[in-house]
Amino acid sequence: MSNIIQQADNIILSPAGLSINDISTVMGSLVNSSIDQADIYFQSSRSESWLLDDGIVKEGNYNIEQGVGIRAVSGEKTGFAYSEELTLPRLLTAASNVRAIASKGQSGILKPWVNNTVRSLYQPIDPLTTLTGEDKVALLKNIDQKTRQLDTRIDQVTVSLVGVHDVVLIATETGQLNADIRPLVRMNVSVIVEQNGRREQGSSGGGSREGYAYFMDQDRAMEYAREAVRLALVNLEAVDAPAGNMTVVLGPGWPGILLHEAIGHGLEGDFNRKGSSAFSGQVGEKVASSLCTIVDDGTLNDRRGSLSVDDEGTQSQCTTLIEKGVLKGYMQDKMNARLMGVKPTGNGRRESYAHLPMPRMTNTYMLPGNSVPGEIISSVKNGLYAVNFAGGQVDITSGKFVFSASEAYLIENGKIGKPVKGATLIGNGPDVLTKVSMVGNDLELDPGVGTCGKEGQSVPVGVGQPTLKIDSLTVGGTHA
């Protein structure tokens, strides 16, 4: 990790003519006796995206983002400024603006810098350089051509490829220096099929904190393509979705978006410190059926939602949120942890140097149970089996959440029946998990596609779950 700090220094500070001494100067001007917490967050991020549409690689985009965010926290008050310019005068101006948040105090004592060494959960590589430009184009073309051969009903194929090389260097008021080099790749295949004048779409993809070779390994790119085509063809047969309250069986993996929306956001520390979450003040209480144990785990190797160290310099961890139905704790950043008198959990995240950190999820999933998936389906007389979702949203105060199914089937007399059109499912976070009556033994994590939005900030996340049976959930179809 100290090697990573050196690399981050080489990538960010040296080219700007800044040194660790300059960081000391800025931190020295920032801290005083009434500042509880302060950090200087340097970031250099390079990303690229390539798009194939209409059979040709039409365009690519390359983006460089670099800047520094400076924050000081006093009690519940936060001052924040950022700059794209990495110069000492600009950093000092930002620091003096930020410090105005705190009352005047004695000047603080600056601690000597200590390199924080944490284990790395991914290789500090630059994914953008793991394939040549020719090979990126060839990869997209190859997927397009092979996808079009999968079925004669395919009309449109869109393939996208995104790579990010994100380098951060974080100095905190405790004298801790942290750095992280975060690779991220993502690929997506979308198709539109047509049959007898009816057009439907399907989309599938994945990603990881690795290089582009990830998509060639295990034929993953073509797996996405086959899955997108399968989904689109299923949709060609879909009938109107039912409307009303019914038993819902959720498939494994990506449907774990349920956990993210229904309880994940409600267990973020900021809402609970402020008492604005439907879960506020419920630690130690039963909020789910005893079959449910749910964790937020930032420590999984190479996963999209994982972080070696969070954006405040806290090593990521696996936090048990719910154990056998009982609420165990919240996800915390440093500020909310301090104000609630608990420890940070490595969930302090920010979209970029230009955004304030806050408690955010990493990879949120439910541990497997004992039921065999087939038995879960056959236990339902009539209901809905939902296996793919397009996204979700939650009102953390009322606890009401939605998630929109993009692949779902009727369950009729214990058997999977006709596919139904996409429909939104709506429920109440604090009680939906009390209605979980069976948990499968088939835990899966999502393929690496999730992005979570909160207060205008987007961060990559993961979800997962085994097959779940929920005795009652409202399905928002048109067939009343």
Q: How far apart, in Å, are the Cα atoms of 469 and each of 242, 255, 367, 376, 383?
A: 18, 12, 14, 7, 10
Residue 244 binds another protein, judged by CB under 8 A:
yes
Residues 87-146 binding another protein (CB under 8 A) are 87, 89-90, 94, 97-98, 100-101, 133-134, 136-137
Instruction: State yes or no: residue 409 binds another protein (CB under 8 A).
Output: no
Question: Which of 77, 148, 226, 328 contacts another protein by CB under 8 A?
Answer: 77
Tokens representing residue 463 in the block: 């979800």
To another protein, the closest distance from the beta carbon of 109 in angstroms equals 25
Residue with tokens 């969070």: 310
- Which candidate, 397, 396, 461, 474, places its Cα nearest to that of 432? 474
Q: Rounded to the nearest 5°, which phi and psi values hold at 409? A: -135, 150
454 near 347, Cβ under 8 Å? no
User: Given the complex with another protein, which of 1 and 229 has the nearer CB atom?
Assistant: 229
Instruction: Please select the residue that binds another protein; options are 19, 276, 290, 301, rule is CB under 8 A.
Output: 276
Q: Would you state the structure tokens that stand for residue 10, as one six-digit string?
A: 């080489």
Binding test (CB under 8 A) with another protein, winner from 5, 26, 40, 67: 67
* Residue 219 within binding range of another protein, rule CB under 8 A: no
Q: With contacts defined by CB under 8 A, name the span among 33-41, 152-160, 206-214, 322-330 that binds another protein.
A: 152-160
DSSP one-letter code for 106: P
Rule CB under 8 A: say whether 478 interacts with another protein.
Answer: yes
Among residues 2, 17, 20, 76, the one that binds another protein under rule CB under 8 A: 76
3-state secondary structure of 377: helix
| Ranges within 339-398 binding another protein (CB under 8 A) | 354, 356, 390-395, 397-398
Using alpha carbons, list the distances in angstroms from residue 254 to 2, 310, 387, 399, 421. Answer: 36, 24, 8, 21, 18
Q: Contact at 8 Å (CB) between 261 and 427?
A: no
> Which residue in 459, 209, 207, 182 sits closest to 348, CA to CA?
459
CB closer to another protein, 53 vs 471: 53
Q: 307: which 2 tokens? A: 């972080």
Q: Indicate left, alpha or beta for 210 from its phi (over 0: left) and psi (-120 to 50: alpha).
A: beta
Nearer to another protein, 111 or 148 (CB): 148
Query: Which amino acid is located at 345 in the chain?
Result: T
The yes or no reply on residue 201 touching another protein (CB under 8 A) is: yes
Q: Does 454 bind another protein (CB under 8 A)?
A: no
Out of 112, 275, 341, 456, the only residue in the binding site for another protein (CB under 8 A) is: 275
- Residues listed for the chain: 480
Considering only residues 18, 23, 79, 344, which one is a binding residue for another protein as defined by CB under 8 A? Answer: 79
- Beta bridge partners, 77, equal 74
- Contact between 231 and another protein by CB under 8 A: the answer reads no
Nearer to another protein, 128 or 337 (CB): 128
> If binding is defined by CB under 8 A, does position 83 make contact with another protein?
yes
Among 18, 241, 292, 461, binds another protein (CB under 8 A): 241
Decide whether 286 or 479 has the Cβ nearer to another protein. Answer: 479
CB atoms within 10 A of CB 455: 9
Stretch that binds another protein, among 177-185, 193-201, 301-309, 457-465 (CB under 8 A): 193-201
